[in-house]
Amino acid sequence: MGGGLWWEGNCRGRMTCIDCMPTGWPLLPQVYSRGECATHCRERDQIGLQNWDSYGEKCVSGHLPVVRSSDCCEFWRSAMGVRGLQGFVARACPGACQTVDLREMAEKHRIDHPGCPAVIVVDAMSCVSRWYTPEFWVCGGQWREYLAILEDFINAFKAAGIKLVFYFDGVVEETKRDEWIKRRMKNTQETARLFQYIKNYRQQPGKEMFVLPSALPTFTRYALKSLGQKTVCTLQEADFEVAAYGLQNNCIGILGQDSDYLIYDTCPYLSIENLRLDRLVTVMYSREVLCRVLGISLTHLPLFACLLGNDIVPESMLEGFWNKCLINSPPRISSRNGRTNILMSVANYISKIPCSYSSLKRLEEILPLGSDKTLLCRGVNSYLLPGQRSPWIPPNEINCQTLSLQQQSALCQDKEIFQLAKEQHIQSENYSIFNILCHGEIDCSNSLEDDYDTEIPGQALIYRPARQHIYSILLESGKGGTCPLVKEWFVYFGNPLKQPDLIQPVQPSVPGGTPNLKTLWLAKGPDVEKQRYSTFLACFHLQDEMEELQALEAPVAGFCCLVAYLMMQVSSLSLEDLNAFLALILCLKGKSAAQLTGLQLAQVESRAVHLGAVLIRGLTTLLMANSACGFPFRMDDLMPWGVFDGKLFQEKYQKAHQGCSVEELLEGNESLYTPFQNLKSFICKVCMAKNRTIHSRPRGNGFNTGREQRDFNPRFQQQPHRSHIVSPYHNQMREFTQRHLQSQGGGSGHPHERKYHLPPQ
């Protein structure tokens, strides 16, 4: 650390110049020397701030394309704090970046607070991309390797007597939805480029195209729970709850990478980006030193953040104000970095105005805040933790965010069920249930799916019939006896995400009728256990197969439910695909993380990458059904490290399609031959009962890009200005490649509806 540039390492093994990008996107696709990077920084300053797009992807003149590790496919935090503030602290406030030994901090805490454990609260969503360090990431995830990495991480802190508490975002707040959509559309373009690379070279792309495996944050929650850690799934965006927990529980620090933790008046902010796990050393950012450099006090920080632009006050409203500050309150020392000058000028302006509510109101009149003149007040309020006050806000107007939701507005009006769902959500015990019961809304980010493969529908559509049954189970007692529609924000080809898909719940075919939630969640006894299992199977149209599935080990039974459902839903799946799925689950059982790490792949097949992502998303659908049905399975039995490995699936897929014998597919293990044949016969029988015959279709070393077909096939084109209600399940996805999705008006009277018109079955 020193000079005008600060360099930092990261988990992908590249170096980063903070001057070259906004905070939150620390990866460069190539390594620049100091001199080269300094040249680029100077070029950027000459081009000017306005020529840099708001995502930090690249300068309009083409300089420094940036890969965003914190925006990799699955998860997203709106801006990871105040743009440019983290880099400013590194460049202009070297005294604010203090190297600390976490062991020493923990020991000091124990001396100062006898009997109180040393606790670090972890902003897990800003850490996941640093935790996932297996070499292979494109094949669907190296889950056992990842689990071992998490265990090593926990053990390093445990050895120092430090307890960790992990927080995960539990919602996408409605005010952030537009930004979420923009990110999803950009991710879709990046995924298309990634698949084109795989098709061209049959290899995993380099680190510059790195994306996290699908559903990684979701399964990280359960991985940490399985390792005995306290994990919390939030009722709002995590940074507020993390800061509040750190303050209220006297934590020794917050571990993350979000500059909002410089703004909250809470416990010390520790950098995950700079953590050296072997020595438990990292960088602690000092709010006090930052304020000294800026010439303001800690009380000014919330207003300072708002006047630079944050989640509540958009930057676009502030550009004129920044220009006035640069003219009327120029920084004491001018910098070549445009963002640094803005930060210093805004701080200089704030330092000269009285610290009062009337000053805030005058600012609201000056700024072009549009129709909502309360933005600044709400923005400052958003940084006030429970029990805190601010001179900018009068006590009677403080509306501190709460960590509870009012049930009055929830879809579920049963207090007992609502409270249980809420508790399970917070404790990371259920999956997506609370958001459906509370808001009737669910979202799912990008997956590694090939939009040019016309034979495999998007996972959002494949699993929609199962979700419709789950919605019916959860919302069976809607007002007036009818189920309310569920709003789905799911990424799939042709969906512009302008409106949510409005999905009609569909009652599953449960023998004896669908039990209510009180029975499924609260009742006890063997008959209820049977009802839970039967209801779960009915979500996947397997209610008639309960006896055979219950005879299997639970992880195998869950995986067979998923594979059978996939084979019924996607008509292009072949016997070779089925063989690969079954060889995967059977051969994985005896393999350690070290053995899987040592597995080598000569090439990567794009279709297997796609199927791997579909399988992983299928596991999250199993989790949702399991949660809704009262947990007929242990959640641990449905986790990917028990049933899936990306490299192993690639190997089995390639061998199956190259015509290898069953013996070779099963690695010569004769004890697996009979289970393999039994599972294969079972799934083929289930499919035959649904009039689905599974054919052999070896693909060898070939693949179908599907580019021309998908580009011009009208069945994949969605109407851009309509949301849609999806009709109930009538084998919706079967013969997917022989149907057209047609837009049709009418329906519920929604002004922006888009409806799928499905032919009679």
Residue 351 sits at φ, ψ, to 5 deg, of -65, -20
The reported pLDDT for the residue numbered 702 is: 53
d(CA 516, CA 514): 7
Residue count of the chain: 761
Query: Given phi > 0 = left and psi -120 to 50 = alpha, else beta, which region is 64?
Result: left
Looking only at the bridges linking them, the beta strands covering 97-101 and 281-285 are antiparallel
Bridge partners, residue 67, by sequence: 27
What's the pTM value of the predicted model, to 2 decimals?
0.84
Say if residues 129 and 74 touch (Cβ distance below 8 Å). Answer: no
Q: What is the mean pLDDT of each run of 10 residues along the chain (761 residues)?
A: 31 36 34 34 33 32 33 41 90 93 98 96 96 96 98 98 97 84 94 97 95 96 98 93 97 96 98 97 97 96 95 89 92 81 95 94 88 88 94 79 56 92 96 95 96 95 98 75 90 95 96 94 96 98 96 98 98 98 97 96 97 98 98 98 98 97 97 98 97 93 44 32 39 37 35 31 31
Q: Cβ-count burial of 156 within 10 angstroms (0-12 exposed, 13-18 middle, 19+ buried)?
A: middle
Which tokens in the block code for residue 86?
Answer: 């983290």
Say if residues 245 and 167 touch (Cβ distance below 8 Å). Answer: yes
Q: What angle do CA 507, 511, 517 make, to 5 degrees?
A: 55
d(CA 477, CA 463): 23
Which tokens in the block code for residue 566?
Answer: 């996939």
d(CA 749, CA 700): 50
CA-CA-CA-CA torsion for 199, 202, 205, 210, nearest 10 degrees? 70
Which tokens in the block code for residue 407?
Answer: 């049930």
Q: Which ranges of 267-337 does DSSP label H, i.e. alpha helix?
A: 287-294, 301-308, 319-328
Q: How far is CA 530 from CA 26, 535, 537, 547, in A?
A: 51, 9, 11, 10
Q: What DSSP assignment string belongs to 371-384?
A: T-TTHHHHHHHTTP
CB neighbours (10 Å) of residue 97?
Answer: 21
Bridge partners, residue 99, by sequence: 283
Helical pair 338-351 and 301-308, crossing angle rounded to 10 deg: 140
Find the largest Cα–Cα distance for the chain: 81
DSSP class of 19: G
Say if residues 613 and 449 touch (Cβ distance below 8 Å). Answer: yes
Q: Which amino acid is at 558?
A: G
Query: What rounded mean pLDDT belongs to the chain?
Result: 83
Q: Which amino acid is at 377?
A: C
Q: What DSSP assignment string belongs to 194-240?
A: HHHHHHHHSS---GGG--PPTTHHHHHHHHHHHTT-EEEE-SS-HHH
Q: Cβ-count burial of 407 within 10 angstroms (0-12 exposed, 13-18 middle, 19+ buried)?
A: middle
Looking only at the bridges linking them, the beta strands covering 118-123 and 162-168 are parallel
Coil/strand/helix, residue 162: strand
Say if residues 190 and 58 touch (Cβ distance below 8 Å). Answer: no
Closest-CA residue to 588 (of 599, 577, 604, 572): 599
Closest-CA residue to 646 (of 134, 129, 220): 134
Q: How far is CA 567 from CA 183, 350, 573, 577, 615, in A?
A: 32, 63, 6, 9, 11
Coil/strand/helix, residue 429: coil
d(CA 254, CA 246): 7
Coil/strand/helix, residue 285: strand
Helices (H) and strands (E) in the chain, counts: 30, 13
d(CA 593, CA 445): 28
Q: Which amino acid is at 136?
A: F
Say if residues 234 and 171 touch (Cβ distance below 8 Å). Answer: yes
**Element (H or E) spanning 180, and its range?**
helix 177-201
d(CA 620, CA 385): 33
d(CA 159, CA 146): 20
Across 196-288, where does the E strand assignment appear? 230-233, 253-256, 269-271, 281-285
Query: Given phi > 0 = left and psi -120 to 50 = alpha, else beta, which region is 170?
Result: alpha
Coil/strand/helix, residue 101: strand
Query: Given phi > 0 = left and psi -120 to 50 = alpha, else beta, which region is 80?
Result: left
d(CA 177, CA 171): 10
Measured over the CA atoms of residue 282, residue 286, residue 292 and residue 294, the dihedral's sign is positive
CA-CA-CA-CA torsion for 342, 346, 349, 351, nearest 10 degrees? -130
